[in-house]
Structure 1
């Protein structure tokens, strides 16, 4: 019995011990930005560095993170390099819009993501996961779990927010999302050099076809719902899609802004949850002791058949494994801001840091979640960090899977509820085991993805 097992340490890039050359920086960022960061990034509260002749402040200290993302967020705009990568995909969607456009979009969407409304999705999430699970029930075997979790979370999104009325003819969703992120979501050397947007990015040009496919999905979905509102108003669901279409007016959202926000949710909104679910199942497969604790918790809760609305509260260990997976493999590994005006920040200790105008402020969950000043045994999979009795030890600004401040992920509660429901149903019925050769390498393509997927053996639990 592994009563006191050695914690599993999953694959991750080793910190650099020597600073890279400029050419090596460009090559590494194009290949996998997670491999760029040096030893100092994992053990210092903040680092000031030159990155391609630009001043960059890497922030790992909760006090400074709170200042930049919350207390003085008005002085920090989206960093230009981030916008150069994301804007071609999402345009004026919620993740990339700023100023009044962002405020209008956030206000329009807020009613859907209240706790009461999200609780109303719980039974749908259970229903869709049960239906999705039939593929494993009817045909146990080896599946790419990374691919499957993308498909599952999209199906949940389509049911809960779009009443199953996303027009997806001709779309292989999980495959197309992967291609979109691998092409349009990749860093280009011209982005690093902050070249004008009109200069073509070669790698991104390959992704235009799949991006246009997604845009057509959105336009067709919008047009179909408009027709339904016009011709059969009593049959129209009052869902996320209807809410946005009803916000189309001079003082609300434009048609283009609605399209951009739907692209954001259909193309990327579910992606973070999908990746975290895949990593969670992999980590549990490599940590049988932790998996056993979770399986026992799920079995004990489900035998009383409570409403899925309550599962998030009733299954703290299940929630903890998901949160620990997001710590080790944060779905959004970097948060990029740029200082509008110079300032000097003073820590409680009295130390100060000067932030010049135009400085890129990098809050990187990837290094923050593994910083040795903040976490004990930071590279190990230890879900008990997030058990209720231990949560108070974690500062609010040392763990940022959903960001922080005004731009915190609007779907955070939705994602947590969805994840616990999906994990509870999958782990209660199936056993997910790593194939012998599986040692997934984390790669940053907007989200943290397993290179070459997560092929895993799925079998019925006995």
Structure 2
């Protein structure tokens, strides 16, 4: 396996002085002894990222089984490329993943397969071209500025920054992909989103045991009210836009909603499923990563100072927010390091259709193949001080030393996140706008408890005290 980043981690920009010891980011402690059947069932149901033992962070592969099905954990970047790129047609979505996500997203882009997935991806792709994304940067900056002004009025108070970033990314999503046509009170929406994705995305013991779908998953029943709220909201949004298109086919905004309604072959239900997918995946993941970034910077004052200095020095010289991503490398680096430590999609699991071989790794047909960014991003064979917050890993020069397949915040291969560039642009703009005038300091008594739902998130939020710079 590649050790390229061990060298990269020791590189420091010439103008950067020696710094304090980097912050060790909180995470569940890997267990040293096997959990056993019932221990595994209990732990995986409570918090799936707690199932991993020390071997998972040290070895290129781990081969085991669950209920008679081979389970293979793959941490080697070269093997990841083979599985998800070179031989991707041999690997389909793993059934457990689908049992958890399909009740939420149904036939959305994240859970669709085969011809439906190809048709949907083709329909959505035009909205995420570089030209379109550049056009989104002004509303991204305007909505970030609106959030900055609102939070400035709360200086001295403590807020849950994960809730605040959810409000912001929803506001940006409304402005860019739906042209403000989703009518909802933002605070109620943010809380419903958290309830919806948190409860509906939980692993239930019946999922782990492969029980039939008709048996109720009690852990997810609490999310049904919020799911009904989402479905009703989206149905109203679709009908409103359809009426607009009927009146004036050329007058509707060329956003995601219009593209879906005009796409060939997508049913009314499939359109609804994809809108919900983008509300969930399109803003929840970025919101969580932004919140973790503010937390990590609050625990690393020297890193925060360098980001603030970069923003203060560079932003006033820029003509347009579309320039932020390239002009603010350190701001981008802290966000990328945040996604390494707390990957927005912690698992990319597949099932092998046919037997496969990669070097000395044998993969029988029907095997579950577990490709876990949570493990790969903290793997001792790939990263120096893998549990520490070291944004220099992603600074120009150092970033190039990374193996393409050891850093997977947006997945990789044919099913790589279609909105990856959108999310990076959005995050850097939001950080630049908020941090230019505000500072956020962690105000919790203890370190946050890290849990896996659909995303990696703080179990009880991230209380942060706001101050003006």
Range with greater deviation from structure 2 (87-96 or 205-214): 205-214
Counterpart in the other structure of 1:69: 84
Correspondences of 1:209-248 after superposition (within 5 Å) = 209-233=225-249, 235-247=251-263
Runs of 4+ in 1 over 6 A off after TM superposition: none
What TM-score do you get using the length of structure 1 for normalisation?
Answer: 0.96
Selected match of 1:85 from 66, 83, 100? 100
Correspondences of 1:428-447 after superposition (within 5 Å) = 428-447=436-455
What is the CA–CA distance in structure 1 between the aligned matches of 2:319 and 2:96, rounded to whole Å? 47
Change (3 A) 1:48 1:284: same
State the 1:14 CA deviation: 1.2
What is the CA–CA distance in structure 2 between the aligned matches of 1:233 and 1:62, rounded to whole Å? 47
State the 1:2 CA deviation: 8.7
Check whether the contact 2:349–2:370 (CA below 8 A) recurs between aligned residues: yes
Correspondences of 1:50-449 after superposition (within 5 Å) = 50-140=65-155, 141-168=157-184, 172-233=188-249, 235-247=251-263, 249=264, 252-346=265-359, 352-449=360-457
What is the CA–CA distance in structure 2 between the aligned matches of 1:305 and 1:404, rounded to whole Å? 32
Check whether the contact 1:22–1:52 (CA below 8 A) recurs between aligned residues: no
What is the CA–CA distance in structure 1 between the aligned matches of 2:69 and 2:400, rounded to whole Å? 37
Check whether the contact 1:374–1:398 (CA below 8 A) recurs between aligned residues: yes
Deviations 1:370-426 (A, max 9, x none): 100000010000000000010121100000000000000000000000000000011
Counterpart in the other structure of 1:349: none
State the 1:198 CA deviation: 1.4
Partner SS state of residue 337, structure 1: strand
What TM-score do you get using the length of structure 2 for normalisation?
Answer: 0.94
Check whether the contact 1:438–1:455 (CA below 8 A) recurs between aligned residues: no
Change (3 A) 1:234 1:340: closer
Partner SS state of residue 385, structure 2: coil
Counterpart in the other structure of 2:49: 34
Check whether the contact 2:167–2:186 (CA below 8 A) recurs between aligned residues: no
State the 1:216 CA deviation: 0.7
Partner SS state of residue 121, structure 1: helix
Check whether the contact 2:448–2:459 (CA below 8 A) recurs between aligned residues: yes
State the 1:235 CA deviation: 4.2
Partner SS state of residue 270, structure 1: helix
What is the CA–CA distance in structure 2 between the aligned matches of 1:446 and 1:238, rounded to whole Å? 30
Structure 1: 5+ residue stretches without partners: 347-351
State the 1:15 CA deviation: 1.1
Range with greater deviation from structure 2 (3-12 or 323-332): 3-12
Change (3 A) 1:214 1:316: same
Aligned length, in residue pairs: 453
Partner SS state of residue 146, structure 1: helix
State the 1:282 CA deviation: 0.3
Partner SS state of residue 237, structure 1: coil
Range with greater deviation from structure 2 (304-313 or 417-426): 304-313
Partner SS state of residue 231, structure 2: helix
Deviations 1:281-300 (A, max 9, x none): 00000000000111111111
The reply to whether residue 44 of structure 1 matches residue 52 of structure 2 is no
RMSD of aligned residue pairs (Cα, Å) = 1.4
What is the CA–CA distance in structure 2 between the aligned matches of 1:392 and 1:14, rounded to whole Å? 30
Deviations 1:292-315 (A, max 9, x none): 111111111112133110110000
State the 1:436 CA deviation: 4.9
Structure 2: 5+ residue stretches without partners: 1-15
Deviations 1:144-200 (A, max 9, x none): 000111111011001000110113269711111111122110001111011111111
